[in-house]
Amino acid sequence: IHERSKSTLIEVMHSASVVVLLATAVAVGAQYQQSEIQFWNALGHEHLEQKLKWKAPEEKGPKNVIFFLGDGMGLSMVTAGRVIAAEKAGRDYRNQKWAFEKFDFSGILKTSSYDFHTTDSAAGAMALFTGHKVEQNTLGRLPGFGETCEKGDAAHVNDGIAELALARGMDVGVVSTTRLTDATPASNFAKGVHRLMEFDNSTEIQNTKCVDIAQQIVRHPADKFKVLMGGGHAYFTPKEEGGYRTDGRNIEKEWLSLPGHRSLLRTIDDINAHNVNYNDQVLGVFHDKSFNYHLDELNNTKRTQPRLVDMAKKALEVLQKSTNDNGFYLMIEGGHIDLAEHENKMNLATEELSEFSHTIETIRGLVGEDTLVVVTADHGHALTLPGYVHKQNSILAAEVETDGMDADGLPIPNIHFAAGPGSKTNRSTYTEEDRKKDHFVSPAAYPAHWGAHGGEDIGIWTQGPYSWIFSGSMENTQVAYMIKFLLCLDQNEPTLCKLRREETGGNYATAPTAAAFKDDVLTSTSTPLSVIILAVVAVAGALSTVILSTLLIRSKRPNKVESIEMNHS
């Protein structure tokens, strides 16, 4: 057979075997319930199967993954913030892209939690970082185990990205503008808790056997992280030292006394002065609670906290100077986009989004082509842009052209929340000067102390190796599944290393082996007969594909060979 034809046949066989592996995994996953990760992994299998039908896994996977999470950064916030930022900058073109919108691939994610249509930040982050759908307001806890922590490790989620990355020998970092004990950063390490069990005397932790989130930074897996940066100093320190703890413990000092070369940073000057060592572990706690809003900080005569970009750059420096050749996983959260939306304060939210985008652009420029960058949100907000607004008017004004739609005769705001403190904003009297104020509260329909999350799908943007597999419509759990797949983290699931037969020194064969197929899918002794039958059918279909391809090649009809090559390019 002609060499080109041989290459085509090998490629066809490769694609067919990949499809067999993933299709069988989907069949195996069908026996599970939504409380089990196998159910959600099966959706990941299905998504990968579709992606690998049109593009085979030819390139080497990413060495590093940087995961940017914009808390509350729903698509309506992305749009509204883009326009507000353009207005403030005096740009006539109002749709200039955020840094992450320039990435090669994008998709949309479903955001519901295990038990609610609209997720909170804890359950949303758990789905993204572990692949589990969990109950609302819980961290590191499987569904159905209650809130008293009596079941111990049996109730814990132990297969998140961060924990599996450590097991594979990678370095891990977490950066946030919120408290390190808050939902998003804590979802990378906290075990078996309600999200509000942040310190030993919290209301939620009373009469339970739970370990508060703050003290979990001196336990596995957080004690092994290379970088932890954020706020929450009061949650780590005792009342005698101005903190909240009643057990007398100073968790920061306990962390500092653990084995290894450790540094505790507390101020901007500490960040600037810190000379990174190759074996550094860094804990940065820069605020008693969560950070101040970035816009408020810009207006201060003296800076009181580092910027998100400052922390991200230092964290990246620590990880890049490490002598660990296994790569790193770094999570960076812009946490106050969400907080400002809860308060219906769009000027603050936009500035937080601008800082988040600037941080992404800066960090993307400091990493190589071996790094996958993922940008998404945990949820959106109940925020809308009611039509119709002329471009000459500010999007923050109440100047919608109603065409007679206004039943009460009052102006309709261009940005509107469903609920929150903005219900007190009088839409008939607020002025241009009002809406230019940093803490201007946009109107809301229903009175509430706190604005509500939205349940709509949110965006995901990716750049780097295999960023194309994150395109399309997905469950949020599939993000974790895909990262585990690419970094070869979960040995109970198909991984890129198995598909490409990674060998010592990074050499790859063309197609997965039968052993990989067996290890990935058919090791479960509880696999029902119906699943095995489905697997056999899948294998038969793949073999038929290979046989047909061989016949086409041997027929010496170049146009059909070219067709096969085109379909699998």
342 is in an annotated binding site: yes
Q: What is the DSSP string of 541-561?
A: HHHHHHHHHHHHHHTT-HHHH
d(CA 309, CA 361): 10
Q: Coil, helix or strand for 401?
A: coil
310 is in an annotated binding site: no
156 is in an annotated binding site: no
d(CA 418, CA 411): 17
Whether 563 is catalytic:
no
338 is in an annotated binding site: yes
d(CA 421, CA 426): 11
343 is in an annotated binding site: no
Classify the phi-psi angles of 384: left when phi > 0, otherwise alpha if psi is within -120 to 50, otherwise beta: beta
Contact 40, 133 (CB under 8 A): yes
d(CA 18, CA 7): 17
What Å distances lie between residue 93 and 84, 342, 387, CA to CA? 11, 28, 19
Q: Coil, helix or strand for 88?
A: helix
d(CA 26, CA 20): 10
d(CA 112, CA 134): 10
Contact 374, 474 (CB under 8 A): no
Residue 392 contacts by C-beta under 8 Å, 6 or more apart in sequence?
none
Determine which one of 5, 17, 121, 394 is catalytic.
121
280 is in an annotated binding site: no
d(CA 267, CA 280): 18
d(CA 238, CA 494): 46
Closest CA to 226 of 284, 180, 172: 172
269 is in an annotated binding site: no
d(CA 62, CA 467): 10
Contact 245, 235 (CB under 8 A): yes
d(CA 69, CA 485): 20
- Sheet containing strand 472-475, strands side by side: 261-265, 280-285, 227-231, 171-179, 328-334, 64-70, 371-376, 458-463, 105-110, 472-475
The long-range contacts involving 489-498, CB below 8 angstroms and separated by at least 24 positions, are 489/161, 489/164, 489/165, 489/167, 489/168, 490/159, 490/164, 493/25, 493/41, 493/520, 494/21, 494/22, 494/25, 494/45, 494/48, 494/520, 494/521, 495/520, 496/57, 496/61, 496/466, 497/61
212 is in an annotated binding site: no
| E strand map for 335-492 | 371-376, 380-381, 383-384, 416-420, 444-447, 453-454, 458-463, 472-475
Helix or strand run (H / E) with residue 50: helix 37-54
Q: Binding site residues for Mg(2+), as ranges?
A: 71, 182, 184, 333
Q: Which residues are annotated as a binding site?
A: 71, 182, 184, 333, 338, 342, 378-379, 453
Query: Which residues belong to the active site?
Result: 121
Q: List binding-site positions for Zn(2+).
A: 71, 338, 342, 378-379, 453
